[in-house]
Chains A and B, each alone.
Chain A
Amino acid sequence: MALIGQGALILALLVAIYSAGTSLWAATGHDRRFLVSARHGLWAIFGLVIVADAIFLRALFTHDFTFKVVSDTSSRSLPTVYLITAWWGSQAGSLLLWSTVLAIFSLLGLRSTRRVLGELQPWMIMVLSLISGFFLLLLVVPASPFVTQIAPVDGVGLNPSLQNPYMALHPPSLYLGYVGLAIPFSLAMAAMLAGRTDARWVVASRRWTLASWGFLGIGMLLGAHWAYTEVGWGGFWAWDPVENAALMPWLVATAFLHSVMVQERKGMLKVWNIALIAGAFALSIFGTFLTRSGILSSIHAFVATDIGWYFMVGLGAVLVGAFVLILWRLPLLRADQRIESLVSREATFLFNNLLLVGLAFAVLWGVVFPLLTEAVGQVRESVSTPFYEFFVIAFGLPLLLLMGIGPLIAWRRASFRQLRTTFLWPVLGGVITGAVMVAFGLDSSWPGVAAGSICAFVTVTIISEFVRGTAARHRVAGESWPIAFLHLIDRNRRRYGGYIVHLGVVMFVIGAVGASAYQTEAEGLLQKGESLTVGSNVLTFEGVERERGPNYSARSAVLRVTSDGEEIGVLRPGQRAYTREQTTSNEVAINTTLTQGDLFVILDGIRADGAVKIKAFYKPVVNLLWLAGFLFAGGVILCVWPDPRERRRIAKRYAEESLPGES
């Protein structure tokens, strides 16, 4: 079976090379029939990868330990559900998943853009085949999932941290995001190769970029929630390089999503957009590379692995390819118009882009800093949370402010008088919120007060946009308020979907600020009957409970919680000792109240004399962090949802204006 699997992958690699060749032949004006053949090639890759998937999954599910990867990532006792997560538990398995998703997305991507961008198809097929070929090469040579061995009696088992429901959703969601960026990237490269540098590729790639960006965002949020509830050190984001790996392409894709609006509308920022999407895609490959190559533990360990070099070459090809294409097409990438005023929508987009890319660069710097210092000197130097927090505050707050300003400023040029009326209420909202925060003693953190005021400012601008639009419809079309509101959103899904995402970001920021700047923390060693105070909560230790699970024994501290004399309930933070795996795991106890926030309790240890070491956090409004995910996802879905009206509008516009180079 392994031979068939390996054969399917080798064949798929050959087909990818064939498709790249034939599509190039067709694209350079030779026989167009080769285009059909190249397209069939993508179907063949899809079929062959599915065959490889089937063989791989069958081996996993039948515990066929002659497959090395299977014995490395699963065992007979592993619950069936987690055999699925074992798919991406290994390097070879996750690269196979990459290739599978890419094969599906390639076909969907071509289909969705065929009507508008028929002339780009051959180039797009070529770029996609090359990307496919790269990942298939990795699967065939350095990371084959079909390496066989003499079967051991049982497998090693799956890393316990992957044995978690979150790990069934979080990695695939990130992969969908990473791979999805291949579609706008291939469209951008195709547009340049074909010399069609107008905004059509931008319009056609919009939904793909948005969806990938949405998957990356949701994937990161799931990871954060996993860290918060399961890993349990009291935070949700540790600035770990592998977390940053997803954040960097997300930030650059965020910049891209905004700057393409400028190109669509004004024909500006063409070079910038292509650089951004190439950067985002390169970072998504870099992200896969970071988590897969072992470069994180040491640059020397990386030198010893082959796969690292493959990734370096692949990454280099993307960057150099994009750079050369931009240089070659520079004359075609001239801006149609220029920025006329600093007080204009396009200028705010530009500043938003600079800040987002600056932030992405800061994160990248933090990630590669240990590698650079190790390569240059003898000793690795590492940066930690304060470094990242500084840049998140320094670049994030102005970014947040722009989120409130941008939507209200007119394109081209805005007058100051107009600005005064537009921004009166939002500014008032921000100032009042800031004053209230200070009055309530929240000036312990000035970045916190600033973030709170800016969040209020942004919220008022967004709500006023909804109110103004609804009122206009109510007045002009005579619709009732609720109908006017729904129609308003339905007729301008991109705009109002965007606002909903912005509201989600505001909610996220409030939650994150509450959980970090305004959390209270207390720890103590408690004897029976003693108590610990955190915020307004008093935790009284009543005794230790013991429990025996199927494969672990657990001890937990029973803590009675009161707040202002009122009884809230009992929390049982505990520790589980897994007998067979010889590991312990912390089971944090979280008391969530929707209006108040979370009381988060960790049991750090139980002493021989029965005293317990307890660490407790009180995190106000942290729930907003997770609820923000729903607004974010809802807004993205609203923006991505097929809109026949929009399609007709675009078709009409294209019919009227001719393509560059056509008369």
Chain B
Amino acid sequence: MSETPAVAPEEPKPGFRHVRLVIALAVASLLGTFAVYTAFADSSIPVLMVSQAQAYSGQKVRLEGKVTTSHGDAADASGLHFVVKDYKGSQTLPVVYTGAVPDAYKIGRDVVIDGTLKDGVFTAVPDSLVTKCPSKYSDKATTSDTKS
């Protein structure tokens, strides 16, 4: 899909050359939009396993892991406290979270949260908790991650 439309056979007439220039400019400005966006917008966020999180301490990251313990209430100011474990390793991290809790959230579920690790505690961005598709079921036909 990379080729531009076939509108340019040889020997362009003067008027036609003008058309081709504008089309080329249009393509260039589309590409330029990409370049400008990726250069100036802080558009991406690292997605980490629990074992990788330590190296990104103090940075905003997206953390993936399995919930092992959970207490407290996300509706409370003190928040929901849970611990996530690495998918493969044995590393764990305590998480403090406030905001909406997805339907599928419970102990044993794979979750994704945005937030920052500081002094060994991962403080989550409110409302960022997302549960991943429970492995008990096969992949769904439609959505793998459902927002709360």
Q: Which residues of A are interface residues toward B (Cβ below 8 A)?
A: 72-73, 88-91, 94, 156-162, 167, 170-171, 223, 227, 231-233, 235, 238, 240-243, 252, 259, 268-272, 275-276, 278-279, 291-292, 294, 296-297, 333-335, 338-342, 347, 350-351, 353-355, 357-358, 362, 365, 369-370, 373, 378-384, 386-387, 390-391, 394-395, 525, 582-586, 602, 604-607, 612-613, 615
Contact = CB atoms under 8 A, between A and B. Distances in A.
A242 B43 contact: no
B85 interface: no
Given A269-B7, A381-B45, A602-B100, A342 B138 contact: no
B114 to A, nearest CB: 9
21 contacts: A89-B141, A91-B139, A159-B138, A162-B142, A233-B148, A297-B144, A334-B6, A334-B9, A338-B9, A340-B19, A354-B30, A379-B46, A380-B48, A381-B46, A382-B46, A382-B62, A391-B33, A583-B104, A585-B103, A586-B148, A607-B73
A73 B6 contact: no
B3 to A, nearest CB: 6
Contacts of B16: 338-340
Contact of A347 (B3, B19, B45, B148): B19
A269 B48 contact: no
Given A394-B33, A583-B106, A615-B100, A333 B6 contact: yes
A397 B146 CA distance: 29
Given A161-B140, A386-B41, A387-B37, 17 more contacts: A72-B137, A91-B139, A223-B143, A240-B143, A242-B143, A268-B6, A272-B5, A279-B1, A291-B139, A291-B141, A335-B7, A340-B15, A350-B23, A358-B30, A365-B34, A386-B43, A584-B103
B66 interface: no
Interface residues of B, number: 56
Nearest to A97: B141
B44 A162 contact: no
Contact of A357 (B1, B23, B104, B142): B1
B47 A382 contact: yes
Given A159-B134, A292-B139, A380 B75 contact: no
Contacts of A161: 140, 142-143, 146
Contacts, number: 194
B4 to A, nearest CB: 8
Contacts of A232: 148
Given A339-B19, A358-B30, A382-B44, A171 B6 contact: no
Contacts of A156: 136-137
A351 B26 contact: yes
Contacts of B5: 259, 268-269, 271-272, 350, 353
A58 to B, nearest CB: 20
A89 B138 contact: yes
Nearest to B99: A604
B142 A291 contact: yes
Nearest to B46: A379
A613 B98 CA distance: 11
Nearest to B80: A605
B27 interface: yes
Interface string B60-104: 001000000000011110000000000000000000000111011
A73 B138 contact: yes
Contacts of B134: 159
A159 B6 contact: no
A184 to B, nearest CB: 15
